[in-house]
Homo-oligomer: A and B are copies of this chain.
Amino acid sequence: MSKKRIHNYYDNVSERRVRVIPLGGLEQIGMNITVFEYGNSLIAVDCGLAFPDDDMPGVDLVVPDVTYLHENKDRFRAFFITHGHEDHIGALPYILKDLNVPVYGTRLTMAIISGKLEEHGMLESVTCRTVSFGDVVNEGDFSVEYIRVNHSIPDSAMLAIGSPAGQILMTGDFKVDYSPVLGEPIDLQRIGELGKKGVLAVLSDSTNATRPGSTPTERSLREILDSHFSIYKGRRILIATFASNVGRVQQIIDSAVRVGRKVIIEGRSMVTVTNLARELGYLDIPDSALLSVDEMGNYPEEDTVILMTGSQGEGMAALSRVASGRHSKIHITENDVVIFSSTPIPGNEKAVSKVINDITIMGATVINRATHVSGHACEEDLKLIYTLARPKYVIPVHGEFRQRHAAAEIARTLGYDEDRVFLMNSGDILSLSENDAYYDGAVQHGGIMVDGLGVGDVGNIVIRDRQTLSSEGILIVAMTIDRNSGEVLAGPDIVSRGFVYVREAEALIGEATEVVRGTVEEAIEAAGVDWTRIKSDVREALGAFLWKKIKRSPLILPIIMEVEI
C-alpha cells in the first residue's frame, strides 16, 4: 500500500469506518465485553463474567467466548475497563491467561483487578496501567479518554474512544449525581465539549431506561439513615449492602459516628473492599469508630452497628449465615434491627425473602424499604447524556432487551430516526461512519462455562445430562457377558440414584430387572453379542416400561462388561 493511498484513505472521511462488536452482555446480563476495531487496531472495553442461569446446574460462572480476539491476536492492543464490578472485570483472569495485553483502568478499578490477578497468581505476568480522569491513552489507531461518571462504585468511567472515524462514547454503568458522597459529579462539561465537536455514537447503560424521571442522588440516603439511627436508639443495628458501594459504606459509617455508635465490618468482601478503600483514601473512617467482631462482646450492643454482606440473600454471605444460625459470632435477638440497604437483583427475590423471614422469626425488626438508591441512569438522565453528546448514532447496551428497547424509545423522542438507533445482538458487527451505519456480519460469541478448575469442559451435552439427572435421576443397568458364548454371567443388576427410594420401589426394580433380562436374551438370540444393539434395546425397553409404570424418564445407562473364560 503506497503512502499516497493511505493519505487518500484518511482524507476521505466517508471511508473511515469503525466497527463495534459486543461479544457479550446483551442477551445475557453480565459478561460485558465490547470490541472496537479500526484498521489494524482492536481494543476491548470491559471483560465481565456472568453468573449461571437456573438451567446451568453446577456451573460456577460464565466467561465470554473471545475466539474473535484470538483470531485477531496480532491486532489486539488492550483492555480498557470502565469500573470494578464483576460483570465488567470478572472474566479478566480467565481471558488474560491466553491473551496477554495491557489492562487500563482508574485507580480503584485497577486495585480490585490486581487483587483478582494476585489470587490467580497472574499479577506478575499482566501489564496493569492506572489512568486518571482526563488522561488519554493511545493504543494503535485508538485514543481512549477516561471521563468521570457516577455509579455505585467509586472511580467509574465513561470512555471517549477516538479513532480516525470519530469519537464514540461508551458510558459504562453510570448515573448522574450532582452531589455524590465520594468524588466529583459526572463530567458533564467534557461530554458537552465532545458533543459540540461531534460524537459519532453513544453506547449507553440501559439498566433503568424503563424508569421515568431521574435517579436520586446517593446523598438523599443521609436523612433516611440518620432517622433509622434515631428511631432505633437503644437497639443493635445490622445493615447489609454491597461491599463495593463505598459511598454507601461511608454514609452508613458517618451516620453511626454522628450518634456515637461503633462500627463492626463483617463478611469477606466487605472487609476486603473496605480495607482497600481505606488504604487508597476513598473511605474516611477514624480508627476509633471501628470494632472487630471479636471485640464486639465487650461493648454495649445498642451502641454498635454491624455493616455486612448478604443484601442479596447469597447463601455464604454474612447476613445469610446469621439468618440461618450458621454465624459463629453474631446471633439475632429481639433487640436487633436489620436494614437492607439494597434492592434484590432480579432472580434473588426469593432468597432475600427467605433471609427476611428467618430474621423476623428470630424476633428482629427488618427494614427493607427506602434505604437504597440505584446506581444507574433513569429516563431523564439518558435524555441529558444524549442531548449533551448529540451523537449521530445511539446504541443502547447493558440491559435486558426490554430495557435497551426503552432506551431506544427515549432516543426516538429526541428525534432519532430508526436508522440512527441500533439494538444490537452479541456478536453483531456494526460498521459506523459519518455517512452511514450498517451491520456487517457477525463473529463467534457466547458463554463458556467454568466449573471448578475446568474452563469450557462443561458444555451443552453435560448440562443436558445434568438437567435430566436432576429432574429424573439415573438407572444403571450392569451385566457381565461371556464374550464367546454370549451367556450372561452376572447381572443384570439395576442401581439407581436420584430416582425413587429403593425400599419404596423394590417391586418396581424387580419387574424392571426382568424386563431387562428378557430384552438382553432376545437381543443376543437375534444378533449375538452386539453391544450397541443390546444397549439400545435395553434403553428402549426399560424406558418404555418405566414411563408406563410411573411416568418418569430417568437417564438409563447400560454397562456391559465382557469376560473371556
* Complex interface: chain B residues within 8 A of A563 (CB): 480, 489-490, 563
Are A467 and B465 CB-contacts (below 8 A) given A476-B476, A493-B559?
no
A537 close to B (CB within 8 Å): no
Is the pair B473, A465 in contact by a Cβ cutoff of 8 Å?
Answer: yes
Chain A residues numbered 433-477 whose CB sits less than 8 Å from any CB in chain B: 451-454, 456-459, 461-463, 465-467, 469-474, 476
Q: How far is the CB of A155 from chain B (nearest CB, A)?
A: 30
Give Cα distance in the complex from A451 to B550, angstroms. Answer: 8
Is the pair B402, A454 in contact by a Cβ cutoff of 8 Å?
Answer: no
- The interface residues of chain A, by DSSP majority, are classed as mixed
Is the pair B353, A402 in contact by a Cβ cutoff of 8 Å?
Answer: yes
Give Cα distance in the complex from A131 to B109, angstroms. Answer: 68
Is the pair B57, A471 in contact by a Cβ cutoff of 8 Å?
Answer: yes
Is the pair A54, B57 in contact by a Cβ cutoff of 8 Å?
Answer: no
* Complex interface: chain B residues within 8 A of A350 (CB): 54, 346-347
Are A400 and B478 CB-contacts (below 8 A) given A469-B466, A489-B563?
no
Is the pair A471, B479 in contact by a Cβ cutoff of 8 Å?
Answer: no
Task: Give how many A residues have a beta carbon under 8 Å from the other chain's beta carbons.
Answer: 65
* Complex interface: chain B residues within 8 A of A461 (CB): 501
Give Cα distance in the complex from A500 to B451, angstroms. Answer: 9
A359-392 interface code vs B (CB 8 A; 1 in, 0 out): 0110000100000000000000000000000000
Give Cα distance in the complex from A479 to B57, angstroms. Answer: 29
A interface residue numbers (CB < 8 A to B): 54, 57-58, 346-347, 349-350, 353, 356-358, 360-361, 366, 400-402, 405, 451-454, 456-459, 461-463, 465-467, 469-474, 476, 478-480, 489-491, 493, 495, 497-501, 504-505, 549-552, 555, 557, 559, 561-563, 565
Question: Would you list 19 pairs from A and B whose C-beta atoms are within 8 A, ordered by A residue?
Answer: A54-B350, A58-B471, A346-B349, A347-B350, A356-B402, A357-B400, A357-B402, A452-B552, A454-B500, A463-B498, A465-B497, A469-B469, A469-B498, A474-B497, A476-B557, A478-B561, A480-B490, A491-B561, A559-B559
